[in-house]
Amino acid sequence: MTATNAAAEGSGALRDELDAINARITKQASHVRELKKAGTTSADEIAAAVDALKDLKIESESMRKRMEVLDPTAQFNRRVFDELILRKMFIVPSFEIHGGVKGLFDLGPPACAVKAAMVDVWRKHFVLAESMLEMECTCLTPEVVLKTSGHVDRFTDLMVKDPASGECFRADKLLEDAIDELIDSNPDMPASEREGHMRVQIQADAFSPAELDDKLVEYGCKAPSGEPYGPSFPFNLMFKTSIGPEGTAVGYLRPETAQGLFVNFRRLLDANAQKMPFAAAQIGLGFRNEIAPRSGLLRVREFCMGEIEHFVNPDDKSHPNFPSVASKELVLFGRDDQLGSGKTKSIAIGEAVSSGIVNNETLGYFMARTQLFMERIGMDPNRLRFRQHLTTEMAHYACDCWDLEIQSSYGWVECVGHADRACYDLDVHSKATKTPMLATLKLDEAREVEVAKLKFDRKALGKTFMADQRLVSGALEALAENWADFEPIANALEKEGKTTVDGFEITKEMVTWKKTSKKVHEIKFTPSVIEPSFGMGRILYSLLEHSFYQRDADEQRCVMRFKPAVAPQKCAVLPISSGEEVNAVVDEIAAELMESDLATRVDKSTASLGRRYSRADEVGVPFAVTVDFDTLADGTVTLRERDSTVQIRLPKSDVTRVVFDFVHGRFTWEEATAKYLVVQVKED
């Protein structure tokens, strides 16, 4: 999804006006062409018609600009924001003095603190609140694991090269850009034609290499050298290395944290005393060797993820806590709407699940919890939406996927995936390692089931399979638990005299069976996995954008409106003068705040108070205490709230408790202004 699509959504009356003008442009352009073709028209007449066409285009352009103003992302001043982010060392390019590396960024002190607070909220909101089993697995991953998961073969992007320079490009992004450009440079393109192009754009990452090559030609994409691109081919995005001194063991840096949890499933189930459903979680790094990193911080090569794997019975995806979120309204952008109206819908998650828009309760539950998390850390709720994956985007085994997208100046960006991955992951690891990965459902009432009762000829088995014979008999016993599973084996053995199970060739002599029935008190099943996967870096970047504003539209007065709980520093303490007595009180208050683990910013510089408030605003410090001459007389100080710039006067001994309670959500600014004297102070 790109910025163009985002802008295309800003609709309403202005949109209609613009459509009307664009229709007039089309008409006038056709008129000019006719005049020219006619050959009989005077040059002046043509010039006048061309001038009229130009005026219409200028009007259309100014209309587009007005539309952008209504769109909040358009008000965003990226130049000022980027300058602030770098100057205040929120985020800086990694290894800058050595020339840097594309797609690698460091978090500086304020962003590092915001991220730590964000991760802390995440852990409380998800892990702690639901007693999830948190793990920390390694980034280094042996090849066999990622071969099993499919990443070695399929974790690829299609790449093309400029044949002249050897420079590499992501093929789908080239196509998306070409379509953006085509639409942008043809404002008078009929809506239906534009929609056609946008549909191609939406599917850009789902084309086969051959299809993509055709599209690149169709849209006239040329390499920077001017030559056509070479054919597109899959490039694996994993960083490869070798583990151990021999140099023979291939390893990769994990592209996601999930595999570590899947391979630990049996131990996790034990740790949960075999109870289902349950969730495991992990916060950690992921790595992707992006072909052409761009979009600043949104497409990077090393990133922090938070992943939850909720293991559930595939026949019962209800969630015990679903009622607690059922009435929560979410903005959904369903599959049909993406290909149809292009409009989102606001709908309670309970209704979305019961009407089948969202596949099941557990998936819906996590979507609602994600929305609540975003609101809790201070994301703008008006710039969040859940976009459903198109059928072409989903893996064949997936039941349903919804991405939480956050709107920023880069458009709508996928920040949290919510995928029902069925039992794919456990299945592949179970098969590859010959390790059963099953959970048990205890039945309330015993149930009669048809089974096969097996009798093995251990001698025959042993002779053929030697050490593997237990594996073979185990695999057959597992199938025999359910006659429906065993029936094809039985048929094959009877008809052909042999068959293959888990790669072993079984012959008739090895086993005999009897179809029978038995009472079972429990059922074994491979759990389905519902996976919310958070891109912490993207969330952090989006939060920085959502938090940024300019006071009174003044470029010199930037503010980050962080909530107290996520603000990198909680309180500034400023002396009104450089007097020793005043400074002593500043140190005393700061020490007390620090002792309560409240990160504190002391600014004793000689700049004006207003300037020092502004500096604190720039890193989003929510409160500022000022020690003045009255403090020395009566022990009171002023406390300023960042966004309103309103100040209250309170005893200095109250400061730590009040700020602590603000940060921990136990006291609000409204309550504070009711309790303490509000003082008016002009800032400049």
Using CB under 8 A as the binding rule, the residues of this chain from 105 to 144 that contact a copy of itself are 105-109, 111-113, 115-116, 123-124, 128-129, 131, 133-142, 144
Q: Which is nearer to a copy of itself, 137 or 492 (CB)?
A: 137
- CB 375: neighbour CB atoms within 10 A? 14
Looking at the Cβ atoms of 292 and 398, the one nearer to a copy of itself is 292
Helix (H) or strand (E) holding 512, with range, is strand 511-525
Q: Pick between residue 598 and residue 650 the one whose CB is nearest to a copy of itself.
A: 598
Residues 509-568 that bind a copy of itself (CB under 8 A): none
> Using an 8 Å Cβ cutoff, are 592 and 656 in contact?
yes
Tokens representing residue 584 in the block: 């002593």
Surface-to-core class of residue 165, CB atoms within 10 Å of its CB (0-12 exposed, 13-18 middle, 19+ buried): exposed
Nearest to residue 282, comparing CAs of 118, 420, 136, 418?
136
Residues 272-301 binding a copy of itself (CB under 8 A) are: 273, 285, 287, 289, 291-292, 301
Strand order across the 240-243 sheet: 140-142, 249-253, 240-243
CA R_g for the chain: 31
Distance in Å, CB of 41 to a copy of itself, minimum: 55
The nearer residue to a copy of itself, 21 or 609, going by C-beta atoms, is: 609
**Among residues 267, 343, 463, 470, which is the contact residue for a copy of itself, using CB under 8 A?**
267
Q: Are 202 and 389 in contact (CB under 8 A)?
A: no
Question: Binding of a copy of itself at residue 584 (CB under 8 A)?
Answer: no
Kindly report the three-state secondary structure assignment for every residue of 626-664: EECHHHHHHCEEEEEECCCCCEEEEEHHHHHHHHHHHHC
**Contact string 417-436 vs a copy of itself (x = CB under 8 A):** ------------x--xx-x-
Q: At closest approach, how far in Å is the CB of 498 from a copy of itself?
A: 30
Show the site string, 15-34: x = touches a copy of itself by CB under 8 A, - = not: --------------------
CB of 133 to a copy of itself, least distance (A): 4
Helix (H) or strand (E) holding 74: helix 72-75
CA separation for the pair 415, 58 (Å, rounded): 37
Closest approach, Cβ 302 to a copy of itself, in A, equals 5
Q: What is the DSSP letter of 91?
A: E
As measured in angstroms, the least distance from the Cβ of 141 to a copy of itself is 7
Site for a copy of itself in 83-102 (CB under 8 A): 88-89, 92, 94-99, 101-102
Rounded to whole angstroms, the Cα distance separating 410 from 388 reads 20
In the list 58, 104, 164, 210, the residue contacting a copy of itself (rule: CB under 8 A) is 104
Q: Could you tell me how many residues of this chain bind a copy of itself (CB under 8 A)?
A: 80
8 A C-beta contact, residue 525 and residue 485: no
Give me the residue label for tokens 């992501």: 170
- 69, 70, 217, 271: residue in contact with a copy of itself (rule CB under 8 A): 271
User: 301 vs 319, which CB is nearer to a copy of itself?
Assistant: 301
User: In angstroms, rounded to a whole number, what is the distance separating the alpha carbons of residues 212 and 574?
Assistant: 60
Total count of residues recorded for the chain? 684
Among 264, 295, 440, 645, binds a copy of itself (CB under 8 A): 264
Q: What angle do CA 138, 98, 106 make, to 5 degrees?
A: 45
Decide whether 332 or 616 has the Cβ nearer to a copy of itself. 616
The single residue among 3, 29, 32, 268 that binds a copy of itself, judged by CB under 8 A, is: 268
Work out how close the CB of 142 gets to a copy of itself at its nearest, in angstroms, rounded to a whole number: 5
Based on CB atoms, which residue is closest to a copy of itself, 253 or 544? 253
Q: How far is the CB of 653 from a copy of itself (least distance, A)?
A: 18
How do 329-333 and 384-388 pair as beta strands?
parallel
Q: Which of 10, 260, 527, 535 binds a copy of itself (CB under 8 A)?
A: 260
* Of 578, 593, 582, the residue nearest 633 (C-alpha): 582
Residues 6+ away with beta carbon under 8 Å from 112:
568
Please give the residues from 220 up to 239 whose contact with a copy of itself meets the rule CB under 8 A.
Answer: 235, 239
Q: How far is the CB of 467 from a copy of itself (least distance, A)?
A: 16
- CB 118, min distance to a copy of itself, A: 12
Site for a copy of itself in 312-351 (CB under 8 A): none
Residues 6+ apart with CB under 8 A from 340: none
Per CB under 8 A, the list member of 168, 206, 441, 520 interacting with a copy of itself is 168
C-alpha 522/C-alpha 520 separation (Å) is 6
Contact with a copy of itself (CB under 8 A) among 145, 312, 529, 609: 145
Parallel, antiparallel, or unpaired for β 156-161 and 105-107? Answer: unpaired
Choice from 3, 29, 594, 646 touching a copy of itself (CB under 8 A)? 594
Residue 472 beta carbon to a copy of itself: minimum distance, rounded to whole angstroms: 19
Answer for which of 448, 580, 597, 684 binds a copy of itself (CB under 8 A) is 597
In the shown chain, the binding pattern of residues 643 to 682 toward a copy of itself, with x for contact by CB under 8 A and - for none, equals ----------------------------------------
Instruction: Give yes or no for a contact between 434 and 319, defined as CB atoms under 8 angstroms apart.
Output: no
* Closest to 511 in 3D by CA, of 555, 549, 464: 464
Question: The dihedral of CA 504, 509, 511, 512: what is its sign?
Answer: positive
Cα–Cα dist 247/225, whole Å: 39
Find the binder of a copy of itself among 4, 28, 148, 533 (CB under 8 A): 148
